[in-house]
Structure 1
Amino acid sequence: MTPVHELAGATAPIWMWTSPQEVESAALDQLRTIAELPYVHHHVAVMPDVHLGKGATVGSVIALRDAVSPAAVGVDIGCGMAALRTNLTAADLPDDLGPVRAAVEAAIPVGHRGHTEISRRVRGYADLWGTFGDLHPKVTGRSGSIDRVMAQMGSLGSGNHFVELCLDTEDAVWLMLHSGSRNIGKTLAELHIAAAKKLPHNTGLRDRDLSVFLAGTPEMAAYRADLTWAQTYARRNRDTMLALYVDALRDHLPTLRVPTPPTHGPHAADTAFAAVNCHHNYVAEEHHYGADVLVTRKGAISARAGEYGIIPGSMGTRSYIVRGLGSAESFHSAAHGAGRRMSRTRARKEFTTDDLVAQTTGVECRKDPGVLDEIPAAYKDIDAVIAHQSDLVDVAAELRAVLCVKG
């Protein structure tokens, strides 16, 4: 079993799946601030990809009694990963993947863009659009807001979001992508974080960004409703992008076949983890250490025994499909990726486009200043991150990217 490090000087125990010496001091201070919350249940769990975040640390798993902190979810509500194993092998891929990348970029809007026409597929999510009017009035009261939200369904976004074509160790071709709830999730999160800061029970907090809603209050009910909607939107966004991705690839790879992605629940399809779709910024009602609690995973995946998840690396490095081992100590959780080891600003100062070209050799992707802050060296060593959590997950498949689309 991997030894768990305990962070000294904390009000509640903080159990870490990495050495505190490997974590920046600001993130350690932030974790101690989280542990001061009077609602923390038992301990705070910290994943090996931990790094500083807004309000709550990325890579933190926090179980709260009768309370929830919107900052402990993050502003990209429901952000997560999806992956499909196809029937193709490396031998089926063309030597030049440039036209394939161009087709994917044409099919899936990146950056701040959305679709110019709302597809029949998106209009089919009637259950989602039918409850849009129940969301925060500052969202629903804006003219044309539902049209903009619908247009962003099936779009990637920017930052560390990506679409990849990967090969596993047996040369099977995988489709993988990373995205969340787009601007609607960000807007809802920011509105609720601002509302929580104004509540009188949060006035004594050292960091008001950690402000919480309390169970049984209208503020909590409103946040939970908006949160659930945004988490559903994020999962549908990934499902929609996968469908668009497959359609784009079939023009170049006509023999492509994929399994049907699971539309509900955390587990993979019956065909041996051929389809996985998992959140890593979200809230779940769970039972841990004798109590019913609200668990926030900000940069962490659920890893119950037998549950499949995805832990990506970075452009030019490996990613992993994993199977949960059900660790009680981690609140049945695992890391969500490699985790940044430096800020975007520092990465742009320290590296050049020549460095980016060298570090993404063999990957068909952008190699320009616009994605320099996503250079692999800006991230932690994914293999070390996986090694630190050998008691949390088993590796089911190891993937390497041959094509990557960034926002």
Structure 2
Amino acid sequence: MPYETLPLDTRAPVLSWAGHALGHEEARMARNVASLPFVFKHVSLMPDVHLGKGALVGSVVATKDAIVPAAVGVDIGCGMAAVKTPYTAAQLEGKLKQIRLDIEAAIPTGFNDNKEIEKTVSNWQGWQDFKHLHPKVQGLEGKASKQMGSLGGGNHFIEVCLDTEDQVWLMLHSGSRHIGNVLAQRHIETAKELAKLAGAKLPDPDLAHFVQGTPEFAAYWHDLQWAQGYALYNRVVMMARFQRIVERHLAGGKPMKALLTVNCHHNYAEQETHYGESVYVTRKGAVRAREADYGIIPGSMGAQSFIVKGKGNAHSYCSCAHGAGRLMSRNKAKLHFSLDDLIQQTAGVECRKDAGVIDEIPGAYKPIAQVMANQSDLVEVVATLKQVVCVKG
């Protein structure tokens, strides 16, 4: 659908693909961001937009000469990876439960990390730059090494999916783990301290920012790029392990040739050119969707997911949604839904079906079909997937 310009009294217009009016708190958050003096052109809201911290999740904010760390968020580089395999649905017959158990044994979830550091991890070139990160993370290199190749918790997941032609896909969702969170928190604290010292009048303390040309900006930008690299490679390490498990079950361990590989962030910032000017683009719960960019838009556990190709829509800063978007908070979901609801809504999916994942029930998310319909001018669908195995973080 085409975007609509929201009736908000702001310095920069707010363009929305949500297809509905924002709630009171969502409108306040959009108004706060769009009123910042360094916001470029307009703010774009994706179809899955919902409340975040400082800035809305599902928002794309382009800025000139400044950046807001809290708008990027604390899971720097969080994103998705997917691989289209040469395998078919028939080859999965009778193997789903064991595949899930093997994934859970090979890839740590939640707060867990790897007991040993594999060579692929220790050889990552990013470690050479660790000593230049924020001083307060210098004791965390060992933990960061052990966490690379781990999933994390919350809405992170690993899935075996089938497309509409019964082709097997591998898909996972994760970010920069503890190290990314700590880096973000340290820089957000610095930004707030600077704002307080300067007596800045901000509509929200979480909109404290760094100005280009200052040491604080340079330090944050450096650490941001490092954490985004960590998150990207974290997904590479996990996908390699995941792929070996599936190869063992479906091809006797013979290495496969991927038919398509996608690895994309949806919580990050980059310097890009839009409307002929160099700007900093913060995508908080949004995927880059330039022409021919491949992206991944997952539904909730038990719903469809989509592999997409961007259309390069300038009004969205060449962006699209990053998922279904939450309809209710985790606490509200736990109160609203029962274990029976979870079992019913995840029928046909080999996954955990216990009270510990009720907050990730499909009913707690927006209908993915509507999210996709609202961004037909942003992306085209390349493949429609449905999970048959789901491992939650």
Please state if 1:231 is matched with 2:217. no
Residues 127-186 of structure 1: per-residue CA shift (max 9 Å, x gap): 21111111000000x3xx211100000000000000000000000000000000001001
Which secondary structure does the structure 2 equivalent of 1:10 belong to? coil
Greater mean alpha carbon deviation, residues 5-14 or residues 73-82 = 5-14
Q: 1:7 to 1:202 in 2, by over 3 A?
A: farther
Q: How far apart, CA to CA, are the structure 1 residues paired with 2:112 and 2:241? A: 15
Superposed displacement of residue 190, structure 1? 0.7
User: Which residue number corresponds to residue 290 of structure 1?
Assistant: 276
Superposition map of 1:59-208 within 5 A: 59-125=58-124, 127-140=125-138, 142=139, 145-200=140-195, 201=198, 203-208=200-205
Which secondary structure does the structure 2 equivalent of 1:199 belong to? helix
User: Which residue number corresponds to residue 17 of structure 1?
Assistant: 17
**Alpha carbons 1:14, 1:46 under 8 Å: kept:** yes
User: Which residue number corresponds to residue 360 of structure 2?
Assistant: 374
Superposed displacement of residue 282, structure 1? 0.6
Superposed displacement of residue 257, structure 1? 4.8
When the two structures are superposed, what TM-score results if normalisation uses the length of structure 2? 0.97
**Alpha carbons 2:149, 2:237 under 8 Å: kept:** yes
What amino acid is the match of 2:128?
G
Superposition map of 1:351-362 within 5 A: 351-362=337-348
**Alpha carbons 2:320, 2:375 under 8 Å: kept:** yes
**Alpha carbons 1:18, 1:48 under 8 Å: kept:** yes
Superposed displacement of residue 308, structure 1? 0.6
**Alpha carbons 2:192, 2:205 under 8 Å: kept:** yes
Q: How far apart, CA to CA, are the structure 2 residues paired with 1:236 and 1:405? A: 20
Superposition map of 1:279-358 within 5 A: 279-358=265-344
What amino acid is the match of 1:319?
S
Superposed displacement of residue 5, structure 1? 1.4
User: Which residue number corresponds to residue 47 of structure 2?
Assistant: 48
Superposed displacement of residue 96, structure 1? 4.5
User: Which residue number corresponds to residue 5 of structure 2?
Assistant: 6
When the two structures are superposed, what TM-score results if normalisation uses the length of structure 1? 0.94
Which secondary structure does the structure 2 equivalent of 1:150 belong to? helix
What amino acid is the match of 2:164?
T
Q: 1:275 to 1:327 in 2, by over 3 A?
A: same
User: Which residue number corresponds to residue 267 of structure 1?
Assistant: none
Please state if 1:212 is matched with 2:198. no
Q: 1:283 to 1:82 in 2, by over 3 A?
A: same
Which secondary structure does the structure 2 equivalent of 1:342 belong to? coil
Q: How far apart, CA to CA, are the structure 2 residues paired with 1:233 and 1:245? A: 18
What amino acid is the match of 1:53?
G
What amino acid is the match of 1:381?
P
**Alpha carbons 1:202, 1:211 under 8 Å: kept:** no
Superposed displacement of residue 95, structure 1? 2.2
Q: How far apart, CA to CA, are the structure 2 residues paired with 1:27 and 1:98? A: 41
Superposition map of 1:31-42 within 5 A: 31-42=30-41
The alignment's C-alpha RMSD in Å is: 1.2
Which secondary structure does the structure 2 equivalent of 1:329 belong to? helix
Q: How far apart, CA to CA, are the structure 2 residues paired with 1:204 and 1:357? A: 49
**Alpha carbons 2:19, 2:374 under 8 Å: kept:** no
Superposed displacement of residue 330, structure 1? 0.3
User: Which residue number corresponds to residue 261 of structure 2?
Assistant: 275
- The answer for unaligned runs of 5 or more in structure 1 is 261-270
Q: How far apart, CA to CA, are the structure 2 residues paired with 1:283 and 1:202? A: 26
Which secondary structure does the structure 2 equivalent of 1:319 belong to? strand
Q: 1:323 to 1:29 in 2, by over 3 A?
A: same
Q: 1:284 to 1:202 in 2, by over 3 A?
A: farther
Q: How far apart, CA to CA, are the structure 2 residues paired with 1:298 and 1:10? A: 22
- The answer for unaligned runs of 5 or more in structure 2 is none
Identity %: 55
Q: How far apart, CA to CA, are the structure 1 residues paired with 2:96 and 2:294? A: 29
Q: How far apart, CA to CA, are the structure 1 residues paired with 2:256 and 2:328? A: 37
Superposed displacement of residue 385, structure 1? 0.3
Q: How far apart, CA to CA, are the structure 1 residues paired with 2:98 and 2:131? A: 41
Superposed displacement of residue 254, structure 1? 2.5
Residues 173-214 of structure 1: per-residue CA shift (max 9 Å, x gap): 000000000010010001111100111457210101011100
Q: How far apart, CA to CA, are the structure 2 residues paired with 1:185 and 1:160? A: 16
Which secondary structure does the structure 1 equivalent of 2:316 belong to? coil
Superposed displacement of residue 19, structure 1? 2.7
Which secondary structure does the structure 1 equivalent of 2:250 belong to? coil
What amino acid is the match of 1:371?
V
Superposed displacement of residue 106, structure 1? 0.3
